[in-house]
Amino acid sequence: METLHTLGPNLETAGQIGKLAHVLLQEIVVTHPEDIYLQNAVRTRRIGTSGVCGPASDAVTRAAHELGIVASREDHVAHYFTSFGPLESEPGEDDLILCMTWGQFNSQLYRSRRQEFRKKPFFGPRRLIRDLIPKHYYAYDPDTIRYRQIIHCKYPSSTGYRWLKTTPEDIASGNYHPGEAQYDDFPPALWA
């Protein structure tokens, strides 16, 4: 993979990532009970308030990598989303994040008439999402990360993808490089 570039607070590039992520979501099976019966085009319109953060963060992070942008998929106990923070340091409050499914934590605000929030993914510094979902900030808190993932593979015999179980410390070590790997490149137990 070519050298990846750091994403700044560029809404145009974030929009490109989101647009490609919606295309990538069409390729995978989303198994959230609320959305399983929906056709792909309809499902992606409802994704903002659904609990399909796993597939959404998968698609956003892969989209960023395809566009040459540094990104990691953050796996928290109760949530997944994409961070654009530097890989050589631990995640922090000022890291830019993109979350397509934040509306699951505050569907009223997500569906409100306020144009800055209305049915839009969250893109901005991590600390600012606290104002939108104060009771659920634990799902974004840098201290609640289980895995910080930058390596994915196409899972054999499936339409889905798997992510290597790397921690923030693993990524900061510089021993792992973003992008796609083969499933056999790592022991099966290391894939989530």
Please enumerate in sequence order all residues whose Cβ is within 8 A of that of 157, keeping only pairs 6 or more positions apart, or say none. none
Q: How far apart are CA 163 and CA 179, in angstroms?
A: 10
Query: How many domains, the chain?
Result: 1
Q: Is residue 147 part of a domain?
A: yes
147 lies in which domain range?
11-190
Mean pLDDT across 108-115: 85
Residue 44 pLDDT > 60, yes or no?
A: no
Q: What is the pLDDT of residue 39?
A: 44
Q: Is residue 31 part of a domain?
A: yes
Ramachandran assignment for 134, one of left (phi > 0), alpha (psi -120 to 50 degrees), beta (any other):
alpha
Choose the weakest-confidence range: 12-26, 29-43, 77-91, 152-166: 29-43
- Give the type of residue at 66: E
* Distance (Å) of CA 101 to CA 8, 9, 48, 52, 66: 21, 19, 4, 7, 21
Q: How far apart are CA 29 and CA 82, in angstroms?
A: 19
Q: Is residue 115 part of a domain?
A: yes
Q: Is residue 3 part of a domain?
A: no
Q: Is residue 5 part of a domain?
A: no
Cα 37–chain centre separation: 23
Q: Is residue 107 part of a domain?
A: yes
Q: Is residue 2 part of a domain?
A: no
Q: Is residue 4 part of a domain?
A: no
* pLDDT tens digit sequence for 81-107: 999 999 999 999 999 999 999 999 999
User: Which is more confidently placed, 120 or 189?
Assistant: 189
